[in-house]
Amino acid sequence: MTDAGDAHRAVQHADDELYERLRAYEGRPAATGGVGKDLVNEAMIRHWCEAMGDTNPAYAGPGAIAPPTMLQAWTMGGLSGHTDRSGAYDELSDLLDGAGYTSVVATDCEQEYLRPLRPGDRITFDAVVETVSARKTTRLGTGYFVTTRMDVRAQGEPAGTHRFRILKYRPAKAGRRGSARPRPVVNRDNAGFWEGVAAHRLLIQRCGACATPRFPWLPGCNACGSPEWDTVEASGEGTVFSYVVMHHPPFPAFGESGEGGPYAVALIELAEGVRMVSNVIGLPYDKVRVGLPVRLEFLRTDSGSQLPVFRAGEG
């Protein structure tokens, strides 16, 4: 038996033991008896709609409902925080910190809407540590995904759920980190878009009721609220509507010849009238300009996925 073998087995044993301790937190409360700081109210709805540019008439006037996607707004603690957080979540976090998984990144959230919320609704909530994943290695580093589920109620009746997932991880060694572009996050709302991209087709959603095109992909129409939709394939023609140049942090997968930057991130206006964030290729970052004509291409990344990018037009 070699020393290296012993060391490996010792590490494996410690990992198994840690995972058992982490899993013991599944089902334990992360917050109990939470109370929304405000009743559902017209002012917050109006500010939200203005910030989102959402003019849906369902959210204003007599009989208005709150935008369903505001669900979390009614449970957030604000700067002064909530006092109803349980010790279990902090203990879980401390356990991971103590084992060296000190970094954290929010990976995704998923909401389910069970009934519309209206001004005057009184929000209460509980949260539970729903799952802790087995140890996973990602491009950021190795760690554990922790999913918290919040059950939101109005007047005590179920109104929705909000699942929130983080990765608590030990950062990968410098140099390896970020050597390939991160893979896109594919979810139920955008899966069709990424299937299109894999087949080198850029698909835009089109409302089945009012024919308004939309991007990025959403479950419903922002113009009329209809959940019916089909898709149209973009011609690939577009112009740079706006752009920023990223200088920091350097990210090796991006930039000319992969040196990490600076690089231009552009908002492309497609000929079909929708806009999408992408990269402009074939041009130095400091030559990108508003109004620049660009044409769609598909870039195969190191991780094997396809990404839509835009090549600057000739001249």
Distance (Å, rounded) from C-alpha 220 to C-alpha 227? 4
Nearer to Zn ion, 223 or 253 (CB): 223
* Least distance in angstroms from the C-beta of 214 to Zn ion: 8
Q: H/E element holding 265?
A: strand 263-270
* Least distance in angstroms from the C-beta of 193 to Zn ion: 18
Would strands 157-171 and 141-154 be described as parallel, antiparallel, or unpaired? antiparallel
Nearer to Zn ion, 30 or 221 (CB): 221
- Per CB under 5 A, does 105 bind Zn ion? no
* Least distance in angstroms from the C-beta of 213 to Zn ion: 10
- Per CB under 5 A, does 204 bind Zn ion? no
Nearer to Zn ion, 223 or 267 (CB): 223
Distance (Å, rounded) from C-alpha 68 to C-alpha 109? 14
Distance (Å, rounded) from C-alpha 110 to C-alpha 219? 13
The count of chain residues that interact with Zn ion, using the rule CB under 5 A, is 8
Binding map of Zn ion across residues 208-247, x = CB under 5 A, - = no contact: -xx-x--------x-xx-x---------------------
What is the side-by-side strand order in the sheet with 203-207? 213-214, 203-207, 229-233
Site for Zn ion in 249-268 (CB under 5 A): none
Distance (Å, rounded) from C-alpha 14 to C-alpha 307? 39
Distance (Å, rounded) from C-alpha 169 to C-alpha 107? 12
Q: Examine residue 262 and say whether the peptide bond preceding it is cis (omega within 30 degrees of 0).
A: yes
Stretch that binds Zn ion, among 2-10, 61-69, 202-210, 261-269 (CB under 5 A): 202-210
- Per CB under 5 A, does 207 bind Zn ion? yes
Nearer to Zn ion, 186 or 218 (CB): 218
Q: Which residues does 218 contact at the CB level (< 8 Å), separation at least 6?
A: 189, 205
Nearer to Zn ion, 87 or 273 (CB): 273
User: Which residues would be at the binding site for Zn ion (CB under 5 A)?
Assistant: 207, 209-210, 212, 221, 223-224, 226
